[in-house]
Amino acid sequence: MNRKTIIVAGIGTDVGKTVVAAILTEALEADYWKPIQSGSLDHTDTDEVRSLVTNPKSVFHQEAYRLTQPLSPHAAAEIDGIEIELAKLHLPETDNTLVIELAGGIMVPLNKNELNINLLVKWQAPVLLVSQNYLGSINHSLLTAQVCRQMKIPVIGWVFNDQYLHYEEEIIQWSNFPRIATIPYSEEKDGIFINSQAAAISKHLNEFL
């Protein structure tokens, strides 16, 4: 296990994990890896992060599974006639810090017997949990935190994506996980935005990593 591996996990799908992963990759000048890509193979999350990161040090590693359908990994894999095997999900070789972005929420199935959470148990790397403001996000955030505690996942803390109002403080209080950063809402999530947020998060990362 690369001791510098950091996993970006979310409370669900489309909560901003890719943006957070790009910010973290830029802030740490880290490598990036998304083990499983479901759908959007013409412009993957790896492609998106690569387009947003400007430092010359980061390497963007090939996905282990590239699935054609924008579905839960287990369902997309079944359509493609393959089975995702955790034993084949080996971390890329690198001497650099590695940022890993999971597909979907932590309880998303990967096959008939295993979930994303099993990857977190397998790798035992520090995890950043991404939450986003929507009706039901408190419930989803606290359930995610509870499962991580039950499975003894080493959680660093929360990154809140977009404006959170009072929800942010409630999630911190009830989960007892700290806030690492709040990413403000922006219509333009481009390289300039990623760089500005990377500079902001860098000030706080050292005390948690």
The answer to whether the beta carbons of residues 114 and 19 sit under 8 Å apart is no
Q: For residue 192, which of 65, 51, 33 has the smallest C-alpha distance?
A: 51
Task: Report angle CA 38, 156, 40 to the nearest 5 degrees.
Answer: 10
Q: Are the C-beta atoms of 73 and 65 separated by less than 8 Å?
A: yes
The residue from 17, 34, 57, 189 that is catalytic is 34
DSSP-assigned letter for residue 3: T
| CA–CA distance, 82 with 112 (Å, rounded to integer) | 12
The answer to whether residues 70 and 39 touch, using CB atoms and an 8 Å cutoff, is yes
Ordered DSSP codes for 41-106? TTS-HHHHHHHH---SS--BPPPSEEESSSS-HHHHHHHTT----GGG-PPPP-SS-EEEEEEEET
Q: What angle do CA 53, 58, 61 make, to 5 degrees?
A: 105
Q: State the DSSP code for 2.
A: -
| 34 assigned to active site | yes
Residue holding tokens 């070789």? 93
The set of catalytic residues is: 34
